[in-house]
Structure 1
Amino acid sequence: MSEERPTRPEAGSAVESKTVEPLATIVIVNWNGAHLLPACLDGIAKQEADFAYQTWVVDNASSDGSRELLAERYPWVRVVPAECNLGFAGGNNLALRQVTTPFAVLVNNDAIPEPTWLAALLAPFDEPGGRHLGATTGKVVFLPRFLRIRLHTPTFVPGPHDSRELGVRVSSVTVDGREALREVLWENLTYGAEGPSGSPYFWTRGDGELCVPIPDGGPVTLGFTWAAESRKQVTLSWDGPTGTSAGGRADLAVGPESTTVSLTVGGEAPRVDVINNVGGIVLTDGYGADRGYQQVDVGQFDQPEDVFTACGNGMAIRSSLGHELGWFDDAFFLYYEDTDLSWRIRARGYGIRYVPGAVLRHIHSASSVEWSPLFVFHTDRNRLLMLTKDATAPMALAAVIRYPLTTVSIAVRTLRQAWRARSQPAIRPTLLRLRVYGSYLRLLPDMLRARREIGRSAAQRRASLQSWLVSR
């Protein structure tokens, strides 16, 4: 472990931490993120805070020169080296278990804090009722700004085994010639990514909205590569300058053959911020979700309020409470570890406050690809682990029993579709789900022990905590 260095004066302290004890330790987990760290750390160095804080980077055995970068450009950062990739949960824990400051603050290496982020995040602990807070969580918006585009097109239903109403199949989106398909926000238009992870595509609905990341100022040329079941028209429209009724519209053709069309959007078209997370929710079926996900930020989340869960990217927690709870569960590796920790914070009787003034700009899925096998494995397994530890017995059992039944149903449907099409069945999704369940069963004894410990130290019953759960 490297020698701890004092907080640099311009990074939130009027004098070195030898004379002023830091109030918080900022912990950043890094794995091969040398290209991400400078923007994150430069943002942390510019924090406008009247208290001292220190910054630690846990390096999860990076091989891209991250440690050399930190030593050369950021000597005021303490590096906590890991001998292997411990994931988000284990990597954070490696540092968090050494934290002695009153507060620990977590931020992703692919996030850039606004100058007032840290001060705003910690302020509620000193406000009336703050002694009852266990954690705070801020507003996370996507890093780029976006153009909102509305899409309208006739739909069709694929067949008896797929009742979706589909519009067009989009396989590429370019912005001034640069591929941006994975950066487009599709939540309000499509049914999610389909196809292989290396070349995904999206089927749209007949009506909806997509947000395309575009640079500030000046005109931009957008390209769409798409196809449909038959020849038809797609209408794309977007807003004009704020305070005017003028906007843009393009009527474009699509057909069975994949074609690429382009259009130019004027520089006066408004760019908007889109929300990544404003605190978390858990649905009544046990799935965690980002509150406000992919909503255009128009001020609808500008008031502080209590939320059920905090986001691991941009949360602050009382260190004393974190030590009592054992911080994150190492077994989770990544995903759902923050939801599990939040559930345990609330079980101890502490609140979690959303702070709208604590703003981070985040590169979504910069370190892991959403809906990749890695993503699916950990989200599926960790959801079952979390419910086993934290939820009521009926809720946990329902999820644990439903998962293998759904796996069998998927396998049968896949075999039937392959038989009808006289093709090889797509067995990888089923095999992945079997891996998920096998890993869950292996960890089940540890989760049951953790469940008993949570129950013994709980200040709130599990049933009362589930009043926070949200219906779909």
Structure 2
Amino acid sequence: MVEPNLPVVPSPVVSLPVVSVIVVNYRGADDTITCLRAVRDELDYPADKLEVLCVDNASGDDSARRIREAVPEVRLIESATNTGFAGGCNLAAAEASGQVLAFLNNDARPDRGWVRSAVEVLRAEPTVGAVASKVLDWDGKRIDFVDGGLTWFGMGYKRHAGELDDGSHDAARDVLFGTGSALFVRAELFTALEGFDERFFMFYEDVDLGWRLNLRGWRVRYEPRSLTFHRHHASMAEVSSSREHYLLERNALAALYKNVSDETLARALPAAMALVVRRATARGEIDPTQLEITRRGETEDDAPVPVDRSALAGMLAIDQFVELLPSLKVSREQEQRARVRTDTDLLPLMRKAMEPAYPLPRYLAAHDALVEAFELDEVFGRPRKIVVITGDAVSERMAGPAIRAWHMAEVLAAEHSVRLVSVNARVDPPESDFEVVAAKPRELAEHVEWADVVVLQGHVLEMVPALKRVDSTKIVVCDVYDPMHLELLEQGRDTDDERRAKDLAGVTDVLNAQLERGDFFLCASERQRHFWLGHLASLGRLTPGLYDSDPTVRSLLSVVPFGLPSAAPRRTAPAIKGTRPGISADDKVVLWAGGVYSWFDPLTLLRAVDRLAQRRSDVRLFFLGMKHPNPDVPEMGMAGQTRALAQRLGLTDKFVFFNETWVPYQERQNFLLDADCGVTTHFEHVETTFAFRTRVLDYLWSGLPVITTDGDSFADLVRAEGIGVVVPPEDPDALADALEKVLYDAEFAAECRRRIEPVRERFTWESVLAPLTAFCRDPRPAADRLSASAPLVRTAQPGRVESVRRDLALLREYLDAGGPAEVAKRATGRLRRLAGERLRGR
């Protein structure tokens, strides 16, 4: 292969991002100077990519002077007032120039790889918005932070704090929040979230930030290689325990109020406030019965009552929480609008939401009483709500789309609260452990609003316009197992060209809308997956960020074929042999298990049966269903052609039999168990290449050897696994020979059945739906649908020398291509482009 003669252009220079390290000082100059020198001298990160900022939070002593003299290269920002840790960090962040912000406590020192390890995570995983460092004590022996937990009443805590670091926490994992003492955040994202909440002053501002990141679909990733060492609470030396209790209680209520859903808030907030009071009285050992009317006379009613400051802290915390409510209400409305994940989604990251946290007997009793009274176990243990929406009829007689939707609902219902909704006029379902609902298109919005995750197929997205809006935050799974536009190429052959082109354009638009909106996609085979990857790429969904996060792209598009029941089929009634007139108990039955559609080729099958019948008088072909169970699906021309050819060949009701209705789904096993082999034949065209013949799985379920035309994914399976015979398209002689081999070669048929058993296990509904069940356990927006998701590292602009070299290379190319005239034309075009860019930049 000859390489094209392309101009030599210098490769772009890709660099590490600038990291702005932010340290806040308040009357701790000694610790701060030690910390800043370590950042300056000990990090394994390019010095020209590090920006170090220190905020002196109105210390009122000589801290600023000492820091400036000790580390003059550090940018020192002097705050006029003490705005707390949150305010100090925000002040520096507003002036930082880095693409990554690194927050480090002034009483901490970083390990050599602290920055580089965190940056590697941010570059490799674009859905990670923040990196939580591993934090050990100053000696590196005991744990300060390796994981975060959150109680139902809003208090965050460091899990495993104080334990020996034995290496058991050296695996990276997603967490709800990282500790502000060592935390990396994408700068653009930090700005979009308006930084730390300064109303917190200190404590839980990091919990609140992580909570908000997760609610907006971003991940907070604990990375143990990003290591720091912390003099625990050295920065808290001047804060009394009662003031600490006050801040913790107030800020926990504020974080809870801002971040939980309306449903959760209605139950959790009253209980949380009551629990603050009980914590206060228990901590201060206050007699809670001293004002009972029955105790009159024991003391003077107007006598002062001493209240411990630790008890007062809780009561004042509630008072000041109420004071903050007007501004918190504005923040709450903002967070609730921006959230894309539910409280249920975050439950695994809370770790142990029902943890009481304080070992005080009276407090523990109150905790249990409040949990029971407000039914908080239901709120913080409620299953995720998933709606599966289909446009097909859901009844005893179901076709492929409804069968697929039914089993999705059935499998997901084992872990979640599931509602199966059909917009078809015919909804008369079998018994189930999940809710099945009929809905008109205009009623779908109600079901979508109810759900945490929406799983849809067909034209459903067009019926819920709100889901298509750019600002829609609902998690959407699109089941594109059916390439409808390819089907329509065949199905529309019977219509006029203008109508056919219009219908095809409409269906393509429907599919493109799904591909542009979905957070997760399901297809039926690897062939289909390659096809849909091309679609997604053409629509711009395969972004560098998505690819860097998951080079396989299976986090966006996964294979979920049709499945089959895990239990073997059991006969419940006679069906074909000895029951249908013209078919005896000893006849050999060939079963066509699905419908007769335009993309199938039953005509070649009829000709093959005609040939075989001339030498085998006991062969019988049985079509399981001619009339589609969905009344909205008209009979296709191929069905009429099939009946006509069978009649013309003299096969009808002698060698070929038609079941004109549709077999109930729960009774199909009786027909399968009466058959000797299953068959599917089709033409050679694009639809075949990417089709997935769903009813062929029923052949595997019942152990039937399969005869299929070559060209689709099932032909690959049959050939690779040795479970039947693959024949060329439109070859009645080869097909007749294949039928004879499967029906009359007992040894071959037995070997096929033996080989089917392990294949069948791979296709149980529980197995094939594993990608969907995994996604629904931790549903998130697709990486390219996250807000504030610009690339972390931008391509460096070429320097002056590189620019000259590039222009000279282009000049030589243009001269070779067309001489001076070509150079003049190109130069004019470039000038126009530059002028346009300047105008757009205004």
Normalised TM-score (structure 1) = 0.64
Q: C-alpha distance in 2, partners of 1:465/1:371?
A: 33
- Which one-letter code corresponds to 2:105 in the other structure? N
Question: How far apart, in 2, do the equivalents of 1:107 and 1:29 lie?
Answer: 8
The residue identity in structure 2 corresponding to 1:449 is: V
Indicate the larger mover: 53-62 or 94-103: 94-103
1:52, 1:425 → 2: CA distance?
57
Instruction: Count the aligned residue pairs.
Output: 320
Q: Does residue 54 of structure 2 align to residue 66 of structure 1?
A: no
* C-alpha spacing 1:415/1:432, structure 2 compared with 1 (3 Å): farther
Q: Is 1:97 paired with 2:94?
A: yes
Q: What letter corresponds to residue 91 of structure 1 in structure 2?
A: G
Residue pairs, 1:222-301, within 5 angstroms: 273-301=141-169
- Alpha carbons 1:89, 1:334 under 8 Å: kept: yes
Match of residue 436, structure 1, among 317, 338, 341: 317
Structure 1 residue 141, shift from structure 2 partner: 0.7
Write the letter of the residue equivalent to 2:127: H
* One-letter amino acid of the structure 2 residue matched with residue 412 of structure 1: D
User: In 2, are the aligned partners of 1:32 and 1:66 still within 8 Å (CA)?
Assistant: yes
Residues of 2 paired with 1:97 and 1:57: CA distance?
13
Per the TM alignment, residue 33 of structure 1 is displaced from its structure 2 partner at its CA by 1.0
Task: Verify: 1:122 aligned to 2:3, yes or no.
Answer: no
- Tell me which residue corresponds to 1:168: none
Report the Cα distance in structure 2 between the residues aligned to 1:446 and 1:466, rounded to whole angstroms.
27
Work out the CA distance in 2 between the residues paired with 1:408 and 1:305: 38
Corresponding residue to 2:29 among 27, 34, 50: 34
- Alpha carbons of structure 1 residues 34 and 464: separation in structure 2 relative to 1, 3 Å: same
Q: SS where residue 447 of structure 1 aligns?
A: helix
How far apart are residue 438 of structure 1 and its match? 1.1
- TM-superposition CA deviations, 1:76-122 (whole Å, max 9, x none): 10011101111101111111123332110100000011111111122
**Structure possessing the higher radius of gyration over alpha carbons:** 2
1:285 to partner: Cα distance: 4.0
Distance in 2 between residues matched to 1:348 and 1:275, nearest whole Å: 29
2:350 aligned partner: 469
Pairwise CA distance, 1:47 = 0.6
Alignment check: 8 A CA contact 1:22 1:54 kept: no
Q: Which deviates more from structure 2 when the two are superposed, residues 21-30 or residues 84-93?
A: 21-30
Q: State the distance in 1 between where 2:278 and 2:59 align.
A: 39
Paired residue for 2:254?
Answer: 385
Q: CA deviation at 1:360?
A: 0.9
- Contact 2:17–2:100 (Cα < 8 Å) also in 1: no
Q: 1:427 aligns with which of 298, 305, 308?
A: 308
Assess, with a 3 A threshold, how the Cα gap between structure 1 residues 53 and 320 changes in structure 2: closer, same or farther: same
1:358 and 2:226 are equivalent in the alignment = yes
**Aligned runs of 1:168-247 on 2, under 5 Å?**
none
Matched with 1:412 is 287
Structure 2 counterparts to residues 10-29 of structure 1, below 5 A = 23-29=18-24
2:234 is paired with a residue whose SS is coil
Deviation readout 1:453-472 (Å, 9 max, x if unpaired): 10111121233223422323
Structure 2 CA distance for partners of 1:81 and 1:408, relative to 1, 3 Å: same
CA distance in 2 between counterparts of 1:100 and 1:444 reads 34
Q: Is 1:396 paired with 2:277?
A: no
Which of 1 and 2 has higher RCO (CA within 8 Å, sep 6+)? 1
Q: Report how far residue 371 of structure 1 moved.
A: 6.4
Deviation of 1:320 after TM superposition, in Å, equals 0.8
The 8 Å contact of residues 415 and 425 in structure 1, kept in 2 or not, is answered as no
Between the aligned partners of 2:153 and 2:309, the Cα distance in structure 1 is 25
- What is the deviation of 1:431? 2.4
CA contact (8 A) 2:107 2:231 kept: yes
The CA deviation string for residues 51-71 of structure 1, in whole angstroms up to 9 with x for no partner, is 611000011012332211222
Q: Give the deviation of 1:325 after TM superposition.
A: 0.5
Aligned to 1:131: 126
Are 1:49 and 2:53 an aligned pair?
no
CA contact (8 A) 1:280 1:290 kept: yes
Rounded to whole Å, the distance in 2 between the matches of 1:115 and 1:309 is 23
Residues 169-206 of structure 1: CA deviation (Å, up to 9, x unaligned): xxxxxxxxxxxxxxxxxxxxxxxxxxxxxxxxxxxxxx
1:124-164 deviations in whole A, cap 9, x for unaligned?
0122xx1100000111111136xxxxxxxxxxxxxxxxxxx
Q: What is the match of residue 327 of structure 1?
A: 195
Amino acid at match of 1:304: A
**Identity rate, percent:** 28
Q: Structure 2 vs 1, CA of residues 21 and 56 (structure 1 numbering), >3 Å: closer, same or farther? A: farther
* 1:311 counterpart = 2:179: yes
Per the alignment, in what secondary structure is the counterpart of residue 357 of structure 1? strand
> How much has 1:358 moved relative to structure 2?
1.2
> What SS class does the counterpart of residue 361 from structure 1 fall into?
strand
Partner-residue secondary structure (3-state), 1:295: coil
1:386 Cα shift?
A: 0.5
Distance 1:432 1:112 in 2: 33
Correspondence for 2:108? 111
Residue 138 of structure 1 contacts residue 279 of structure 1 at CA under 8 Å; is this kept in 2?
no
* Shift in Å, 1:397: 3.4
Contact 1:140 1:275 in 2 (8 A): yes
d(CA) in 2 for partners of 1:75, 1:414: 61
**How far apart are residue 287 of structure 1 and its match?**
2.1
Q: Distance in 1 between matches of 2:235 and 2:279?
A: 29
Q: What runs of 5+ residues in structure 1 fail to find an aligned partner?
A: 1-19, 146-272
Closer/same/farther in 2, CA of residues 30 and 463 from structure 1, 3 Å limit? same
The answer to whether the Cα contact below 8 Å between 2:276 and 2:315 also exists between their aligned partners in 1 is no
Give the CA deviation at 1:415.
Answer: 5.6
Classify the secondary structure of the residue corresponding to 1:411.
coil
Q: CA RMSD in A?
A: 2.4
Match status 1:375 vs 2:239: no
C-alpha spacing 1:329/1:84, structure 2 compared with 1 (3 Å)? same
1:26, 1:407 → 2: CA distance? 38
Q: Give the counterpart letter for 1:32 in structure 2.
A: R
AA of the residue aligned to 1:38: I
Give a deviation string over 1:5-54, Cα, whole Å, max 9, x none.
xxxxxxxxxxxxxxx99611001110011111222012101211146110
Tell me how far apart the structure 2 counterparts of residues 57 and 414 of structure 1 sit (CA, whole Å). 51
AA at the equivalent of 1:333: F
Shift of 1:363: 0.6
Aligned to 2:215: 347
CA offsets per residue over residues 235-280 of structure 1, 9 Å max, x none? xxxxxxxxxxxxxxxxxxxxxxxxxxxxxxxxxxxxxx00001132
State which of 70, 84, 88 in structure 1 corresponds to 2:81: 84
Partners of 1:414 and 1:426 within 8 A in 2: no
* 2:327 counterpart residue number: 446
With over 3 angstroms needed to count, the CA separation of the structure-2 counterparts of 1:414 and 1:327, relative to structure 1, is farther
- Structure 1 range deviating more: 292-301 or 403-412: 403-412
State the alpha-carbon separation in 1 of the partners of residues 32 and 280 from structure 2: 40
Q: Deviations 1:419-440 (Å, cap 9, x if unpaired)?
A: 99xx984433332222211111
- Aligned-partner Cα distance in 1 for 2:49–2:208: 30
